[in-house]
Amino acid sequence: MIGSDVRMENYRVLLADRMSLRIRPADVVLTRNAIMWMEVEKSWKPSAGVSGTACWRTVQVCEIVAVRRTEDEAQENTQTQKPNWRSKQHLLQYPYSFTVSYVKRSGQHQWRCSDVTFYCADCELCDLWIQVTNEQLALLANRPKSLLVYINPYGGKRQGKYIYEQKVAPVFRRAGISTDVIVTERANHARDHLKTEANLDKYDGVVCVGGDGMFSEILHGLVSRTQSDHKVDQDQPDAELVPCSLRIGIIPAGSTDCICFATTGTIDPVTSALHIVVGDSQPMDVCSVHHNNGFLRYCVSMLGYGFYGDMLTDSETKRWLGPARYDLSGIKTFLNHNYYEGTVSFLPAEENLGSPRDKLLCRSGCLVCQHKSAIKDKHSETSEEREKPGSDSWRAICGKFIAINAANISCACPRSPKGLSPSAHLADGSTDLILVRECSRLDFFKHLLRHTNKEDQFDHSFVEVHRVRKFRFQPNHDSMVILEQDEPHKEGGPPPLYSSQPIPQFNADSNWNCDGEILPHTAIQVSVQCQLIRLFARGIEEQQQQQALLEEPCTLLAFNQNTDY
């Protein structure tokens, strides 16, 4: 009964008045949950037919960006480039107006800030609506009021500053969010500032404008700062890390932007800005990477050895090409077709976390991640025992690998809309370890192709995938890189691309690609830190969920015009 009381309370009408929407009369209702309006048809009589039951356009209060007096209508019209349709007569009848800005879904997971203006006959009524709506907005405790923003002016296509100033800052201004903006002057500027200088008590969140590399700087700055504030030693692989209290917002302006894509379903600066404004919160796992009990880096998206490590190493010399560097280096790395020998050992995740091949996609409100959140603190002794390397629960796989990828999240991005591991979860405390063994170039091509289509990318004999909580990699240094012989070398022709002979100058080891940064060591220990950070995001909304909201649902509301509210 208490539940239904709460629901009734949410539907309690706070205000209900007849106003005007454009030049037509409209009934407008504000409840604790939503603002609703309906143009009144001339033929519509509340006492007749369906006795006042009608179709209302609804905006949830939690998706209202701002409400304000429509000060200057001429200016509003220039901004929205709509013709001024208000007749003189209408202006006289309804001279006061207020505008509600709200989130509107425009398809493909993109959000836009839309406006609706209500015209009132008297000034007090107009002010009352603004005041009561603002009171409801003030109750939304999740919304940030003050943000620290870092812009990488050189990420992606070098549009970071322009994107922030033209697309994002106006949305923050409209929502009344105050910002301190720092345009970075060098790599690691943002990380170092967060780690040691920034007065974080002033802010409700940190925003990065850039790509995955820039996000990684913010992640390292915030996580390291939190650990040093709590005297936690990051060098200890088993240290219990303290979760960061500030949320991170990502305004995509990079080359891959896979963390933004995998948490919002799109890479669109305005959408990201609106997720920040409404105060969304998405917990995220973070992998900590150590070498010989010394801390190396944190990773949120992908750790890749072999193919993705080599590709990144090659692409770093081509930064001037922008995002296209990955295409060029990708082709080169594919043609090189190197593989590497080593041992991967791992601790499998609990079975109730599902499997990378179960097709249970992590979507907004994911039950697997919520369940993990609920049981996170109940860590039993038996599981601690289980975690010790060498215990029976650990498994080891030795072999020659073309790629070893750990996908902590799906790693979906525009190049690969389903990602490296489509069913990986954002916050389940596990990572999907994908091992691609030595195979022909054609087979590897088939595997890569599956990153871009709907086929199961793990359905190949040379690919295996495990959901794990921890893993280690030890390269086999005795191995030499053997390159496949495809064609005999012709006398006088170009030097062979591939040779069956060991090539001494080639490094027998690959590098680890850690969220787009190269790691300095190949032997690593990785541990998933469950829900260490939170983003201003909500996960990808289900298609049906999105569709329903796209259509601006008609709320069937028994609205009796004669009731005295």
Ligand X SMILES: CCCCCCCCCCCCC/C=C/[C@@H](O)[C@H](CO)NC(=O)CCCCC
Nearer to ligand ATP, 297 or 469 (CB): 297
d(CA 110, CA 37): 24
List Cα–Cα distances, 308 to 322, 414, 448, 517, 518, in angstroms: 17, 17, 11, 11, 10
Question: Which 5-64 residues touch Ca ion, going by CB under 5 A?
Answer: none
285 binds Ca ion per the rule CB under 5 A: yes
Among ligand ATP, ligand X, Ca ion, none, partner that 425 touches (CB below 5 to 8 angstroms by kind): Ca ion
Given candidates 120, 214, 435, 524, which one binds ligand ATP under the rule CB under 6 A? 214
Which of 103, 411, 435, 463 is in the footprint of ligand X by CB under 6 A? 411
How wide is the angle at C-alpha 398 spanned by C-alphas 394 and 399, nearest 5°?
150
Among 20, 8, 15, CA closest to 31 = 15
Given candidates 237, 330, 342, 475, which one binds ligand X under the rule CB under 6 A?
330
Rg for the chain, CA atoms, rounded: 28
We find the least distance from the C-beta atom of residue 412 to ligand X, in angstroms, to be 8
**H or E element in which residue 555 lies:** strand 554-558
Report if residue 539 touches ligand X, rule: CB under 6 A: no
Contact status: 268 vs ligand ATP (CB under 6 A) = no
Q: What does each C-alpha distance from 424 to 283, 516, 544 come to in angstroms?
A: 14, 19, 21
Q: Is 213 in the site for ligand ATP (CB under 6 A)?
A: yes
Among residue numbers 434 through 473, which ones bind ligand X (CB under 6 A)? 445, 448-449, 451-452
For the chain, the first-to-last Cα distance in angstroms comes to 24
Q: What is the largest CA-CA distance in the chain?
A: 97
Which amino acid appears at position 68 of this protein? Answer: R
Residue 416 binds which entry of ligand X, Ca ion, ligand ATP, none, with Cβ cut-offs from 5 to 8 Å by kind? Answer: ligand X
Considering the rule CB under 6 A, would residue 217 count as an interface residue with ligand ATP? yes
3-state SS assignment for residue 544: helix
Contact pattern for ligand ATP over residues 143 through 172, marking x by CB under 6 A: ---------xxxxx----------------
Residue 411, contacted partner among ligand X, ligand ATP, Ca ion, none, CB below 5-8 A by kind: ligand X
185 binds, among ligand ATP, Ca ion, ligand X, none (CB under 5 to 8 A by kind): ligand ATP
- The answer to whether 150 and 190 have CB atoms below 8 angstroms apart is yes
**Residue 185 in contact with ligand ATP, rule: CB under 6 A:** yes
The yes or no reply on residue 524 touching ligand X (CB under 6 A) is no
Q: From 210-218, 288-296, 420-428, 472-480, give the range in contact with ligand ATP by CB under 6 A.
A: 210-218
- Answer yes or no whether residue 186 interacts with ligand ATP by CB under 6 A: yes
Between strands 178-183 and 146-151, the pairing is parallel
Residue 35 · residue 552 · CB < 8 Å: no
Cα distance between residue 376 and residue 428, in whole Å: 9
Phi, psi of 141 (to 5 degrees): -70, -15
Dihedral sign from CA coordinates of 324, 328, 505, 396:
positive
Q: Which does 457 bind (CB under 5 to 8 A by kind): Ca ion, ligand ATP, ligand X, none?
A: none
Cα angle 223-228-231, degrees, rounded to a multiple of 5? 125
Catalytic residues: 212
Residue nearest to Ca ion (CB): 285
- Residues between 413 and 442 with contacts to Ca ion, criterion CB under 5 A: 425, 428
Residues near Ca ion, by CB under 5 A: 285, 408, 425, 428
Residues near ligand ATP, by CB under 6 A: 152-156, 184-189, 210-214, 217, 254-257, 516
